[in-house]
Amino acid sequence: MAIRITGTGSYIPSNIEKNEAFYNHRFLNADGSSINSPNEVIVEKFKAITGIKERRYVTEDLLNSDIASFAAEKAIDNAKIDRETIDYIIVAHNYGDIMHNSEQSDTVPSMASRVKHLLKIKNPKCVGYDLLFGCPGWIEGVIQAKAFITSGLAKRCLVIGSETLSRVIDPHDRDSMIYGDGAGAAIIEASDSEGGILAHESATFSYDEAHYIFFGKTNDKENEAPRKYIKMFGRKIYEFALTNVPQALKTCLEKSGKSINDVKKILIHQANEKMDEAIVKRFYKLHKLPMPDGIMPMTINMLGNSSVATVPTLFDIILNGQLEHQKINKGDVIMFASVGAGMNINAIIYQH
């Protein structure tokens, strides 16, 4: 029995926020001091490091649970299933629903309950729950779905990664330019065909690394409001990722029994173009090989970092032929991989 992804869907918000929109921001250092560079220079340096030219923001009327349900509808349609046969709805996110211009994250009821309500699923045995695992949340949800199906607790699961990070960014923090909004979803179920999920790997590093990504106050020290924003120690994350992610990928690949030469694509969390490239290069270096051209499809240049949504969105976009020069064929061995708050790392070897 193979555990396969039988349907995918994604939601790309309509609002395009280009880098030029940040020219009027008052960027400050973490200690509140001024940055002695014009915003045009700050933005250009940011683009050179991250590869981000623009990102997508949800419209004011939408919530995170709304866009999660939009992606889910597409995945259900794509899989051609009866939604009443879904056993689990797993929604990976970080901040729940946050209304436009609100300071409060709303997680009661859970995102999964809200999505199930929006999907109009009546079956009470369709169980919904939320997964907080940082940016690797969607991949971890797929791993959990596999466990449910393998153990006989479920036959079919819906796994969603959805986030509206535009509502938790500090306008005085340069890192705010990284983040975007989006949602991706997949139907996971048992199949008689070959392939599917061949192996997985997960890890949490929290002894020293737990607070590399955190919720903190604005860089504007004159602002005494209690509101908090997404914050990170970028250099520490970069060093952590380069040290630990390539080895996790190698371990996962070894578990699968596949060769490095079998891997056709690596769909890695779209966090930072330079960092992702360095991770994959180091992974291939562990195998004494150069990184192949085209192995790492990227959408970060146009979508930014949408956290849990980046990997399922990327997968759906490629399957629908919407990413130039990128294709996943039947039987291809691909890798899903992510790193994020926790600090968490995970990977899946998947044969399409």
pLDDT range class, residue 37, cuts 50, 70, 90 = confident
Sign of CA dihedral 276, 281, 287, 293: positive
* Each residue's pLDDT tens digit, 53-77: 999 999 999 999 999 999 999 999 9
What is the SS3 assignment for 285? Answer: helix
Residues 151-170 have a mean pLDDT of 96
pLDDT range class, residue 104, cuts 50, 70, 90 = confident
The alpha-carbon radius of gyration of the chain (Å, integer) is 20
Say whether pLDDT at 309 is over 90: yes
What is the SS3 assignment for 116? Answer: helix
Using alpha carbons, select from 22, 17, 101 the residue that is nearest to residue 63.
Answer: 101
* pLDDT (0 to 100) of residue 36: 85
The model carries a pTM of 0.95
- DSSP-derived pairing of the beta strands 333-340 and 263-268: parallel
Lowest mean pLDDT among 20-24, 102-106, 207-211: 102-106
Q: How far apart are CA 190 and CA 196, in angstroms?
A: 9
Q: Domains (ranges, CATH) in the chain?
A: 2-193 (3.40.47.10), 198-351 (3.40.47.10)
* Each residue's pLDDT tens digit, 163-212: 999 999 999 999 999 999 999 999 999 998 889 999 999 999 999 999 99
CB 164 within 8 A of CB 100: no
Q: How far apart are CA 281 and CA 261, in angstroms?
A: 14
H-run or E-run covering 2:
strand 2-11
Q: Tokens 């990327």 sit at which residue? A: 314
Rounded to the nearest 10 degrees, how much is the dihedral formed by the CA atoms of 190, 191, 197, 203?
Answer: 0
Strands (E), 205-326: 213-216, 229-232, 263-268
Q: How far apart are CA 291 and CA 258, in angstroms?
A: 17
* Each residue's pLDDT tens digit, 257-280: 999 999 999 999 999 999 999 999
